[in-house]
Copies of this chain bind each other. A is one copy, B any other.
Amino acid sequence: MKQMARVGGRHRVVIDRVQPSVPGTREGSPFPVKRVVGETVLVNADILADGHDVVRGVIRYRRRGGRTWHELPLEPVGNDLWTGQFSVDRVGPWEYSIRAWVDHARTWRSGLQKKHEAAVATETDLQIGAALVAEAVGRARGTDAERMEALARLLGNEALSLDRRVAEALDPESETLVDRYPDLSCATTLDHPIPVRVDRERAGFSAWYELFPRSTGVSADKNGRPVRHGTLQDVINRLPEIARMGFDIVYLPPIHPIGTTKRKGRNNSTEAVPGDPGSPWAIGSDEGGHTAIHPELGSEADFQELVDRVRSYQMEVALDIAFQCSPDHPWVREHPRWFVHRPDGSIQYAENPPKKYEDIYPINFETEDWEALWIELREVFLYWISHGVQVFRVDNPHTKSFPFWDWAIESIQQDHPEVIFLAEAFTRPKRMYRLAKGGFTQSYTYFTWRNSPEELRQYLTELTHDHPREYFRPNFWPNTPDILHEDLQTGGRAAFVARLVLAATLSSNYGIYGPAFELMEHEPVRPGSEEYLHSEKYEIRVWNTEDPRSIAPVISRVNAIRRANRALQSNRHLRFHNVDNPNLLCYSKCDDTGDNVILVCVNMDYHARQGGWVEFSPPAVGLDGPLPFVVRDLLSGRSWTWSDYWNFIELDPQETPAHVFVLER
């Protein structure tokens, strides 16, 4: 049985069902809610007390570890629900709590007012108030204490008329004064504060461009074969173009030395031939492991130059961290306990029986040497952070243990709160959500495989209106080196443009794998496969980025629209709109103020013109203003005046399969 002392028997208020919060717990503690700097946290809670007394409540919030709490009032909105909000203005861990109490001064004042109106207020009622105010004097400071003392004297002064004293009691200035010094001796505070993880703005709004350095700037010989291995310097040379397209993050697949044992050949053949460069994800050789740079890409100095030059374009480098080893990785020799050993003395390679991946040794997270392992893995991040990298794309985090990520990300962000982690976990939904709860800043999603308007509507509703909205930041990719979706294989330019617009406007974080994307690379390794033919994962490719058919100009336009419209810089206010043609998807976003409203319409039939009536009513997205209103398509520059809430649109895949309308004010 609970000890009475622990129960706190005089604390009559109970607080329940506080939002925002993340469902589930880790070791009995709640997961943090996520926000970016400058956002507000809208708090809702059930606050209940017995009886009919007046209750008051405040939000208490602070940066974690801060000495003082800030307080802002909570207001009741009916049915025992209370609401308030606070802003988070610095990156790092925050926390908020709630305090609420039965307020006897307000209860008395409210009763006095009613009695006064019914003309039944008595001397005793005034004396009760005088006592309450006198008691509050002890909690007041400076002139407030003096003013309250005067007020108490006045209320208790029987020489004055009741009316005079009631008027003073109910005077708004008296109210404000007394409210400032409530009796908190029986106040209830939330058992545990709710953590809030505040990230920098790019965590919530970013455009990623992935490219293989070894294929960058490489021209072809007369047989069409690459004349050489691309380098970090080649990437530096391409930066102006990437910046022109409007990207924020230049993401490089692993840049480490590649193993030779069991190296994979072109098109993922199990036998490499001389000259095959191997997969960048088969990490480690005599030349080093996760903190080394593949010599053919360049030196540490080249890398440092790349980081600096990228930054000069207001972009950032993202590195790919893949915690797995080629058989040649130094860890295999130095830390044999981090791998599973088989009875024949060999180390267990990756397998998905009966398939074998002999070029990769997975790390054994059940090793008894797990503490040393964790520290060394964290060192990898810290090493690159010390070289100026603040963004990491983590390869297959769902094949490493959840407790490791929980610890590693919290531990790294403690000293480096600006660091962003993107989880590349294409796995079952709850594992993806758990990684995000455990700390990943952004997450890959199923976007690539949501290929009809209805699928996207359902998926985005889950992501932006259900519990993931508080902790899971989607990052949408129309393609990756692993995924060339059938729509891109068969849909032509319309599919590429439509998927680009969808990714870039449905999700405030998105990315493409280029130059394959802008050059509309669409040949699969074989029919029915999502692997690219001549995948860059296994060979160096030659890309003609000057090709006039490149859709780079469209990409530039879309990224410029994103930057100019705050509505597209968050997913908080996404909503879908009715349209009477199932091939069309229509949705809007607006910014927090409602000043910027974007309406997007996409034709997801890449082979035929589709038209339909779209329902879009400015009042439904929270805007005033009479009909008609003007929408301007930011892709084409054309404007329309809409005199009704239902309007006809038509989109031709031969031209541009999407409208990105801005609502003109």
**Complex alpha-carbon distance, A134 and B156, angstroms:** 87
A298 CB to nearest chain B CB (Å): 34
Residue from A24, A26, A111, A402 having most chain B Cβ neighbours under 10 A: A402
Q: Are B7 and A80 in contact (CB under 8 A)?
A: no
> Which of A174-182, A365-373, A632-640 makes up part of the contact surface?
A365-373
A96 CB to nearest chain B CB (Å): 16
Which residues of B are found within 8 Å of A370, using beta-carbon distances? Answer: 9-10
**Complex alpha-carbon distance, A301 and B50, angstroms:** 36
Q: Are B402 and A48 in contact (CB under 8 A)?
A: yes
Q: Are A79 and B25 in contact (CB under 8 A)?
A: no
A29 CB to nearest chain B CB (Å): 9
8 Å CB contact of A401 from B9, B52, B366: B9
Q: Are A111 and B50 in contact (CB under 8 A)?
A: no
Interface assignment of A528: CB less than 8 Å from any CB of chain B: no
8 Å CB contact of A11 from B130, B400, B403: B403
**Complex alpha-carbon distance, A366 and B49, angstroms:** 12
A402 CB to nearest chain B CB (Å): 5
Q: Are B111 and A351 in contact (CB under 8 A)?
A: yes
8 Å CB contact of A50 from B102, B127, B398: B398
Q: Are A14 and B402 in contact (CB under 8 A)?
A: yes
Q: A residues 337-369 with Cβ under 8 Å of B?
A: 342-344, 346, 351-354, 362, 365-368
Identical chains in the assembly: 2
Query: Contacts A16-B434, A343-B127: A403 and B8 contacting too (C-beta < 8 A)?
Result: yes
Q: Are A342 and B16 in contact (CB under 8 A)?
A: no
Q: Are B353 and A111 in contact (CB under 8 A)?
A: yes
Q: Which residue of B lies closest to A24 (CB)?
A: B16
A55 CB to nearest chain B CB (Å): 12
Q: Are A343 and B128 in contact (CB under 8 A)?
A: yes
**Complex alpha-carbon distance, A238 and B236, angstroms:** 97
8 Å CB contact of A406 from B7, B362, B366, B406: B7
**Complex alpha-carbon distance, A24 and B25, angstroms:** 13
Which residues of B are found within 8 Å of A120, using beta-carbon distances? Answer: 354
> Which of A196-204, A241-249, A282-290, A424-432 makes up part of the contact surface?
A424-432
Q: Which residue of B lies closest to A411 (CB)?
A: B1
Q: Are B402 and A12 in contact (CB under 8 A)?
A: yes
Interface assignment of A546: CB less than 8 Å from any CB of chain B: no
Query: Contacts A48-B431, A124-B344: A354 and B115 contacting too (C-beta < 8 A)?
Result: yes
A27 CB to nearest chain B CB (Å): 6
Which residues of B are found within 8 Å of A14, using beta-carbon distances? Answer: 26, 402-403, 434
Q: Are A24 and B28 in contact (CB under 8 A)?
A: no
Q: Which 4 A-B pairs have the closest CB atoms?
A: A127-B343, A118-B354, A114-B353, A111-B353
